[in-house]
């Protein structure tokens, strides 16, 4: 079994109801933070972590994502004819190598665990990554790269984690923790979206996972959990006690772009990090104090 993480799965079938009407005809993963769609940040993070093969688990109404990662021949022709080099580079930037990208459809909305299970034939018998584009991480070392480095040491499952306010535990997969050095927390239990009073900790999973292929045999059971959905967290919980399983308190800042305020904050933070925009954005922000 290969140990290097070569493949990444991107579940992108979600309906994005929290952003209606914006997401009526546009996939939520295509909403832009500054000038790039959310999904492009996640794919770039994966590529920066050494990922070679990209698998999108998509759904009806999501074909804009496929177009985004392909050539736009007519647009490129126009830009090139007009000598617009920077714009041409921006249009070509997301194009992925031929044959290194696969799309499969999650035909029914049965949950995140089911979405990942849909990628099983593409992943095969090797450890792989899962990235949820809603969770955008700004970091010096890309979050997934930090996790790959941990996996290279442990050979086990790794999830990215952060502490959240106790009243928010019902939004996340929550860890029960054993040995903990402040950076890496050994996982002894996992529970999906517990009530604050029942949560074993406030350490929450954000949408970055490195999983051993055994997850697929756990997902094969199609057991329904929280919210009547097939939960990835439940399948992961059943793997505890086998291979090492750790939560990494990653370095960086995570923005919850599945939430309106988090999405707006990401736009501000990413704009302020850009040399071409920071000054003018800071200036307009002062007007809103």
Site for ligand G1P in 249-278 (CB under 6 A): 258
Give whichever of 79 and 232 is closer to ligand G1P, judged by the CB atom.
232
Least distance between ligand G1P and beta carbon 137 (Å): 11
3-state secondary structure of 58: strand
| 112 part of the interface to ligand G1P, by CB under 6 A | yes
CA angle 98, 83, 101 (to 5 degrees): 10
* Interface mask toward ligand G1P for 229-248; x: CB under 6 A: --xxx---------------
Angle between helices 85-92 and 73-81 (to 10 degrees): 160
With CB under 6 A as the contact rule, the residue among 53, 192, 218, 246 that binds ligand G1P is: 192
Backbone angles phi, psi at 164, to 5 degrees: -125, 160
The partner residues of 245 in beta bridges, in order of sequence, read 157
Question: Contact region for ligand G1P (CB under 6 A) — 54-62, 97-105, 118-126, 132-140?
Answer: 132-140
Residue 172 half-sphere exposure, CB side, CA atoms within 13 Å? 28
Kind plus residue range of the DSSP H or E element containing 285: helix 278-286
CA-to-CA dists, residue 57 to 42, 70, 166, 232, 254, angstroms: 14, 17, 32, 14, 23
Site for ligand G1P in 90-109 (CB under 6 A): none
With CB under 6 A as the contact rule, the residue among 51, 191, 204, 230 that binds ligand G1P is: 204
Q: 177, 203 in Cβ contact below 8 A? A: yes
| 206 part of the interface to ligand G1P, by CB under 6 A | yes
| 40 part of the interface to ligand G1P, by CB under 6 A | no
Site residues for ligand G1P per CB under 6 A:
112, 132, 134-135, 172-173, 192, 204-207, 231-233, 258
């Amino acid at each position: 079994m290969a140990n290097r993480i070569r493949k990444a799965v991107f579940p992108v079938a979600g309906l994005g109801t929290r952003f209606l009407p914006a997401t009526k005809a546009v996939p939520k993963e295509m909403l832009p933070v500054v000038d790039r769609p959310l999904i492009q940040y996640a794919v770039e993070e994966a590529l920066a972590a050494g990922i070679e093969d990209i698998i999108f688990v998509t759904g009806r109404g999501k074909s804009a994502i496929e177009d985004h990662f392909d050539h736009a021949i007519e647009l490129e022709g126009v830009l090139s004819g007009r000598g617009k080099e920077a714009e041409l580079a921006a249009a070509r930037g997301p194009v992925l190598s031929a044959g290194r990208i696969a799309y499969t459809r999650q035909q029914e909305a049965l949950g995140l665990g089911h979405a990942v299970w849909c990628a099983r034939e593409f992943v095969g018998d090797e450890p792989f990554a899962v990235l949820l584009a809603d969770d955008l991480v700004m970091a010096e070392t890309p979050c997934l790269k930090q996790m790959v480095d941990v996996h290279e040491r442990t050979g086990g499952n790794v999830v990215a984690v952060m502490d959240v306010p106790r009243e928010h535990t019902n939004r996340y997969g929550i860890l029960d923790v054993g040995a903990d050095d402040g950076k890496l927390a050994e996982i002894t239990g996992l529970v999906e979206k517990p009530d604050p009073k029942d949560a074993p900790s406030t350490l929450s999973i954000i949408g970055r996972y490195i999983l051993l292929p055994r997850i697929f045999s756990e997902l094969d059971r199609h057991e329904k959990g929280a919210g009547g959905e097939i939960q990835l967290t439940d399948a992961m919980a059943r793997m505890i006690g086998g291979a090492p399983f750790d939560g990494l308190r990653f370095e960086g800042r995570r923005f919850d772009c599945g939430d309106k305020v988090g999405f707006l904050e990401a736009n501000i933070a990413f704009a302020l990090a850009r040399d071409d925009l920071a000054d003018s954005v800071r200036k307009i922000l002062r007007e809103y104090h």
